[in-house]
C-alpha cells in the first residue's frame, strides 16, 4: 500500500468519523441527560437531508439551503420533543424503543408520501465539485475537504458551547447528575428541548453534508443510526468527548477496514475465499472494536458518570 493511498484513506476516515460525530453528539446527550433511547434520531438525519435537497435548489445556494434545512429540522425536533418524547422520559426503555420505532415508521412513510419512493438528488456546490491536489500526486475532493472543515468547526463550537456557556453547564450537570441539575433549579424542560433541537440540527447537518456522497432516500437513517449507537457506546453514554473520540475511531476503523482488509486477505488466503473473508471482516470490524471496548471498559472510553 502506498503512502498516498494511506493518506487518502485517512482523510476519508476522518471525514466519515466527523459526520458520525455530528450524529452521535445529539444521541449521546439525549441518552445521557434524558436517559432516553431515541431510535428516531436517524429519521431526523433523513428529514434533514430531504429538506436540504429541496431547499438548496429553492434558495439557489448550497450553504443557505443547508442552513434553512438545519433550522427547519431543529424546529421539527423541538416540536417532537415538546409534543411527544417528553412523555417518554419517565417511561421504561422498552416503551421508548417502541414509541421511537413507531416514529421511524411514520417518518419513513411521511417522507415517501411527500418526496416519493425514488432517491432525491442533492448536488455538492459547484465551487467545491472539483478536486484539490493536497500533496503532489494526490487529488482529493474539495467537497470532502469542506466536510472535514465543517466537522471540525462544529466540534469546536460544540466544545465551546458545552464547556464555556451557562446552558452548556446545565447540559453537563444534566448528563452527569440529573437529580443535581433538578436541585439546582435549572429549567430542565427548556434544557431538554434545547438539547433535542440541537441534536436534530446536527443530524440535519450530517444528512445534508453526506447527501451529495450517499443517496438521499427513505431508510437512509436506519443503518447509520446503528453506527451512531456504536460510537455512543464506545465513547461512553453522555460524553461529548467520548463521542468525538469514538466517532473518529469508528470512522478510521471502518474506512481502513474496507480499504485494506480485502487486500490483506488476498495475500493470506486463496482468492476464492479471500474476497468473501476480506469483505466480511471489513463489514464487522467496527462491531469487533465495540465488543472489545465494552469487554474491557463496559462504561465506554470516557464514562460521563463516575
Partner 1 sequence: MQPRTAILLLVLLAALPPVAAVFDQSFYISVASRILIFALAATSLNLVLGYGGMLSFGHAAFFGTGAYTVAILAQHGVHSAWLAWPLAMLVSALIAWPVGAISLRTRGVYFIMITLAFAQMIYYVFVSLKTYGGDDGLTLAERSSIGLGVDVKGDAHFYYACLAVLALAIVLLARLRRSPFGHALEAVKLNETRAEAIGFPVYRIKLVCFILAAAFAGLAGALIANQNNFVSPGLMHWTQSGMLMVMIIVGGLGHLFGGLIGAAFLLLLEEILSAHTEHWQLALGVILLGIVLFAPHGLARSARRSATPA
Q: Is residue 282 a contact point for partner 1 (CB under 8 A)?
A: yes
When asked if residue 268 is in the footprint of partner 1 (CB under 8 A), the reply is no
Figure out which of the listed residues 4, 7, 79, 97 binds partner 1, where binding follows CB under 8 A.
97
Q: Would you count residue 280 as binding partner 1 (CB under 8 A)?
A: yes
Give the max Cα distance, the chain: 66
Cell matching residue 144: 470532502
Q: Is 16 in the site for partner 1 (CB under 8 A)?
A: no
CA dist 55 and 52 (Å) reads 5
Smallest gap, in angstroms, from Cβ of residue 273 to partner 1? 9
Q: Among 50, 170, 196, 229, indicate the residue that binds partner 1 (CB under 8 A).
A: 229
Q: Smallest distance, Å, CB 111 to partner 1?
A: 10
- Nearest approach in angstroms of CB 187 to partner 1 is 25
From 64, 75, 102, 149, residue interacting with partner 1 (rule: CB under 8 A): 102
- Residue that has been written with the C-alpha cell 446527550 in this structure: 29
CB 2 within 8 A of CB 185: no
Nearest distance from residue 210's CB to partner 1, in Å? 19
Which one of the spans 14-22, 183-191, 195-203, 231-239 is the region binding partner 1 (CB under 8 A)?
Answer: 231-239
Those residues with Cβ within 8 angstroms of residue 166's Cβ, 6 or more apart along the chain or in another chain = none
Compose the 105-144 pattern: x for residues touching partner 1 by CB under 8 A, - for all others: xx-xxx-xx-------------------------------
Is 306 a binding residue for partner 1 by CB under 8 A? The answer is no
Planar angle of CA 162, 99, 251, nearest 5 degrees: 45
Taking alpha carbons only, the member of 147, 187, 154 closest to residue 170 is 187
Residue 305 phi/psi, 5-degree rounding, is: -105, 135
The Cα 52–Cα 69 span in angstroms is: 5
Owner of C-alpha cell 438548496? 56
Q: Which of 57, 64, 291, 305 binds partner 1 (CB under 8 A)?
A: 291
**Smallest separation (angstroms) from partner 1 to the CB of 237:** 6
> Is residue 224 a contact residue for partner 1 (CB under 8 A)?
no
Let me know: does 68 contact 210? Beta carbons within 8 Å: no
Residue of 60, 94, 133, 136 interacting with partner 1 (CB under 8 A): 94
User: Taking Cα atoms as reference points, which of 294, 285, 226 lies closest to residue 259?
Assistant: 285
Site size with partner 1, rule: CB under 8 A: 47
234 vs 116, 223, 238, CA distance in Å?
A: 36, 17, 11
Is the separation of the CB atoms in 273 and 67 below 8 Å?
no
If binding is defined by CB under 8 A, does position 156 make contact with partner 1?
no
C-alpha grid cell for residue 74? 431543529
CA distance 271 to 262: 10
Per CB under 8 A, contacts with partner 1 among 20-79 are 31, 35, 37, 39
- The contact set with partner 1 (CB under 8 A) reads 31, 35, 37, 39, 84, 87, 91, 93-95, 97-99, 101-106, 108-110, 112-113, 222-223, 226, 229-230, 232-233, 237, 275-276, 279-280, 282-284, 287-288, 290-291, 294-295, 298-299
Amino acid at each position: 500500500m502506498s503512502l498516498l493511498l494511506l493518506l487518502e484513506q485517512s482523510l476519508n476516515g476522518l471525514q466519515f468519523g466527523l459526520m458520525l460525530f455530528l450524529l452521535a453528539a445529539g444521541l449521546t446527550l439525549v441518552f445521557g441527560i434524558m436517559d432516553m433511547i431515541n431510535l428516531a434520531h436517524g429519521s431526523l438525519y433523513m428529514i434533514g437531508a430531504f429538506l436540504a435537497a429541496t431547499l438548496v435548489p429553492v434558495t439557489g445556494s448550497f450553504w443557505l439551503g443547508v442552513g434553512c434545512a438545519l433550522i427547519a429540522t431543529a424546529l421539527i425536533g423541538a416540536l417532537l420533543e415538546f409534543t411527544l418524547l417528553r412523555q417518554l422520559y419517565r417511561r421504561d426503555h422498552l416503551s421508548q424503543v417502541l414509541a421511537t420505532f413507531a416514529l421511524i415508521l411514520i417518518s419513513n412513510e411521511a417522507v415517501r408520501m411527500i418526496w416519493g419512493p425514488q432517491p432525491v438528488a442533492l448536488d455538492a456546490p459547484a465551487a467545491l465539485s472539483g478536486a484539490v491536489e493536497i500533496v503532489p500526486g494526490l487529488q482529493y475532493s474539495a467537497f470532502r475537504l469542506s466536510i472535514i472543515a465543517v466537522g471540525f468547526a462544529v466540534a469546536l463550537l460544540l466544545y465551546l458551547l458545552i464547556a464555556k456557556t451557562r446552558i452548556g453547564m446545565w447540559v453537563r450537570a444534566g448528563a452527569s447528575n440529573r437529580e443535581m441539575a433538578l436541585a439546582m433549579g435549572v429549567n430542565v424542560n427548556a434544557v431538554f428541548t434545547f438539547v433535542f433541537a440541537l441534536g436534530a440540527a446536527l443530524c440535519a447537518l450530517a444528512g445534508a453534508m453526506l447527501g451529495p456522497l450517499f443517496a438521499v432516500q427513505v431508510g437512509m437513517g436506519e443503518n447509520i443510526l446503528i453506527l451512531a449507537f456504536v460510537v455512543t457506546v464506545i465513547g461512553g453514554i453522555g460524553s461529548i468527548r467520548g463521542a468525538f473520540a469514538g466517532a473518529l475511531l469508528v470512522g478510521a476503523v471502518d474506512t481502513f477496514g474496507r480499504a485494506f482488509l480485502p487486500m490483506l486477505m488476498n495475500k493470506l488466503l486463496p482468492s476464492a475465499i479471500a474476497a468473501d473473508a476480506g469483505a466480511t471482516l471489513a463489514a464487522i470490524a467496527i462491531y469487533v472494536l465495540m465488543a472489545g471496548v465494552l469487554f474491557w471498559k463496559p462504561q465506554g472510553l470516557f464514562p460521563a458518570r463516575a
